Amino acid sequence: MHHDKDDPKGYYAVLGLTSIVSAEQIKTAYRRRAMELHPDRNPGNNTTQQFQFLNEAYAVLSDPASKAEYDTQTIHSSAAEPETSKVPDPIVCSVCAKVSAQPRVVVFRSVKSFLLLTIRKPIAGVYCSPCAQKQSLKASATSWLLGWWGFPWGPLYTVHALVTNMFGGSHPPLENARMLGYQAYYFYTTGRPDLAQSIAQNAMKYCKKIPTTLGRNAAGINERDSLTNNLEAFIDELGGDKDNRLKSSWGLIHGRFFIHLGAIAAVAAAITITVINTAGTHYSPPRGPMPYSAQAVPPATAANGSATNTAQRPVNATNQRETAAKKPAYVRPKTAPNGRPWPRTASYLVGEPQTHKTGHSEVTIDNGQNNSDVFLKLVALQGAVARPVRQIFIPARSRFTIKNLTAGAYDVRYRDLTSGGLSRSEAMTLTETTTSRNTRYSVVTLTLYKVANGNTTTYGLPEDEF
């Protein structure tokens, strides 16, 4: 096959260049092609002869004198039959080995996990569009089956891999610009300049995606600039339609996109249905550490001598859920439970008993950074039944100190008067020690759960435990 009259021996073709290039561009192109064609990097492929021809071309074009002589020969050879040389080998698909006008360097992700070990493997190759779609399904199938079973990275890496593969993998811009530029020149040397121009324009699109800053990688910067200049010169030399692009077969919504999407949707639906139907999803707040009575003092003994305590009756979780389902929407009460108006400042509820007040310990309740008023009970966890010992109203952005508390175990239970939500703190133990010199006692501050970095761990609270 004949070569272009401006390149009778094919020296510029094997380097992927045109005749109007600088010495630095020739050097950069040679290094790139030498890496691609070196026999050590291509075991099983007969690249030795191409590698030798590449060295021959570089020896001529890297020397200014021999390059000038070669370029002069091209002028005189225009009227004669040019010398024959090998047309550069085309880029072929890694899977089907077919020559394509739209090959791409694509990287898919595959994840395999086992307990604490998670391996992310990139699957890279040069693909035609149909083979790339098949490869994306294979990589995703491996991740679906083997990617989830490592902690903690297995699920995270698997989701990332599935989404990446669903959208066609990643396309490294520098590698694709380089490859498409070479493929454009191949089609040009085979007498198809229109197709060559279209491929070169696609290569330019990838050039524009190459990062403008490549850190300290001077070779990468030089190659990017050289590649851009070569492609621009190549497209200008071909002339013709400047926007002669091929219809892309590499859209994000490709032929097998909906297979990926359907698999993800099916699994997500199955997980959602399982969660909804799991009995554990019907939340039932944990019970307190002991039976509870809302009465501050034990009820009067009945005539038969037995005390009644409705709080000690067992509570069935199913009945709790049914009661909660029938409960009307919460409306903030206009008055306190004793029928009196709510206090205007943080204080005890008037008329409610105050017990366990023979000590020195103090508990401060900090509601200073919350926007909701709270109705709070300090509950003594003593004896057979837990009972409230103080009942307090604390407005939003306020705090209150409970004083003269007897040593012992307590917790705090409160209602958010805006939302109606109930919460319970962890149990706390107040201590008091008297010596010959002084008395040491507990001073505790509890910041409520909405406060950033608050020190109170809270739990949901059933209505019958408030």
Mean pLDDT to the nearest integer, 141-157: 93
Rank 58-67, 107-116, 204-213, 442-451 by mean pLDDT and report only the highest: 107-116
> The dihedral of CA 263, 264, 267, 270: what is its sign?
negative
Mean pLDDT to the nearest integer, 128-152: 93
Domains and CATH numbers, the chain: 1-89 (1.10.287.110), 347-465 (2.60.40.10)
Predicted confidence (pLDDT) at residue 384 exceeds the cutoff of 50: yes
What digits encode the pLDDT tens for the residues 394-431? 999 999 999 999 999 999 999 999 999 999 999 999 99
**Residues shown for the chain:** 466
b/e sequence 188-224, b meaning 16+ C-beta within 10 Å: bbeeebebbbbbbbbbbebbeebeeeeeeeeeebebb
Mean pLDDT to the nearest integer, 330-352: 93
Q: What angle, rounded to 10 degrees, do the helices at 153-166 and 129-146 form?
A: 160
Rank 229-238, 240-249, 415-424 by mean pLDDT and report only the highest: 415-424
What pTM was estimated for this model as a whole? Answer: 0.46
Supply the pLDDT for residue 160.
94
Spatial distance between the Cα atoms of 155 and 143, rounded to a whole number of angstroms: 10
Q: Of all helices (H) and strands (E), which one includes residue 347?
A: strand 347-348
Spatial distance between the Cα atoms of 395 and 318, rounded to a whole number of angstroms: 35
- Asked which of 78-92, 398-412, 435-449 is least confident by mean pLDDT, the reply is 78-92
How does residue 248 score in pLDDT terms, banded at 50, 70 and 90? confident
- Asked which of 21-35, 141-155, 309-323, 395-409 is least confident by mean pLDDT, the reply is 309-323
Phi-psi region of 16 (alpha: psi -120 to 50; beta: other; left: phi over 0): left
Predicted confidence (pLDDT) at residue 82 exceeds the cutoff of 50: no
- Asked which of 142-146, 391-395, 449-453 is least confident by mean pLDDT, the reply is 449-453
Predicted confidence (pLDDT) at residue 77 exceeds the cutoff of 60: no
Q: How many angstroms separate the most distant Cα atoms in the chain? A: 131
Supply the pLDDT for residue 86.
65
Spatial distance between the Cα atoms of 399 and 223, rounded to a whole number of angstroms: 68
